[in-house]
Amino acid sequence: MAAARVLLLLSGRPESVSFAQSVCGLLGAGPELGPWPTHCGLQRGQLLLSARPFPGASARLPLQRPPFCPFAALNQQPSPPGAELPTNRGVDLGVAIILQSSDQTVLLTRRTRTLRVSPNLWVPPGGHVELDEELLDGGLRELWEESGLQLPQGQFSWVPLGLWESAYPPRLSWGLPRYHHIVLYLLVVSQESQQQLQARIQPNPSEVSAFMWLGPEVAAAVAATEDGTETPRHLSQGLPPSVLAVELEHDGGARPLALPVSTLLRTTPTTTEGEERVSTGTKFALRLWLQHLSRQGVTPRPCASGAHVDPGPAKEEQNVDPLPPNQGSGKPSA
């Protein structure tokens, strides 16, 4: 088996996780939706997780999985006939950057249709963490590779938001999972405005087909359409019909795109497809971002009609003890 990237502290010592095992389940997650407070050790190229405090733990973060997580389902039912999951692989480690401008918007990118994994999904910039790579460094590298943005040293702060157990395909009805990740969402707060950051964006067309800046009011509506819920919670009738995005063209140019908000409110379908939507993990991350803003005393601005979207309770007991915001040194503090 390749070097383990996600380790669990189960019987007093770090243990690697097999590809087919549910990380949330091993840490004691029950049938409820979560999230579950999880103690984390952020090490070079590795993530150590435990349901209890341990020496060297640097944060306690919410860990979540979708209600249709295939690994949870496989743990609760016999494997389908002929089903074979990898036995020589562990769980991979990913990092995603929630980049916040000084005027409180966050960057989302749409993955190209030609990608083998999660095509046409709106997600924050992110990807695999390389071996022996600091988690923040890996996230900033992915931000640069996908968007062309390099943040000047000393002009941003950062804090970990939460952890997401990700599978692809995301449902057993789509087929057996081929990828298994724990994704760490990092909030990176830039001192630059959306306009300043936008002027420097140069998206990688092999990975990104469009990008947009999402404000708290629309982000709250997107976060409220959690997969697994029967109906969205407290959605405002005053939402704008569309949000402004930028779409890349085949000739290398770009054009404005009026993206229907209804596209962002779609949930994961039961059958495989390339339908444009916001990924379930991204909705979780947006919810954590809104909770962070709330703790900072920032209230989402009302929509044009004056109506308000309720992102739901902050669940402070589940998102506690994050690392304090750090200045942009490129490395987390102890």
- Fill in the amino acid letter for 131: L
**Bridging pattern class, strands 106-111 and 14-16:** unpaired
- List, in order of start, the domains of the chain with CATH numbers: 88-296 (3.90.79.10)
Helix/strand/coil percentages in the chain, nearest 5: 20, 30, 50
pLDDT surpassing 90 at residue 277: yes
Per-residue model confidence as pLDDT tens digits over 180-237: 999 999 999 999 999 999 999 999 999 999 999 999 999 999 999 877 654 455 555 6
259 in Cβ contact with 266 (< 8 Å): no
* pLDDT band for position 251 (cuts 50, 70, 90): confident
pLDDT surpassing 50 at residue 310: no
Cα 316 to Cα 321: distance, rounded to the nearest angstrom: 10
**Bridging pattern class, strands 46-50 and 6-9:** parallel
* pLDDT band for position 83 (cuts 50, 70, 90): low
pLDDT surpassing 90 at residue 65: yes
* pLDDT band for position 267 (cuts 50, 70, 90): very high
Per-residue model confidence as pLDDT tens digits over 156-176: 999 999 999 999 999 988 989
3-state secondary structure of 37: strand
* Minimum mean pLDDT range among 69-73, 80-84, 138-142, 150-154: 80-84
Cα 230 to Cα 31: distance, rounded to the nearest angstrom: 17
* pLDDT the model gives residue 31: 78
* pLDDT band for position 274 (cuts 50, 70, 90): confident
* Minimum mean pLDDT range among 216-220, 267-271, 295-299: 295-299
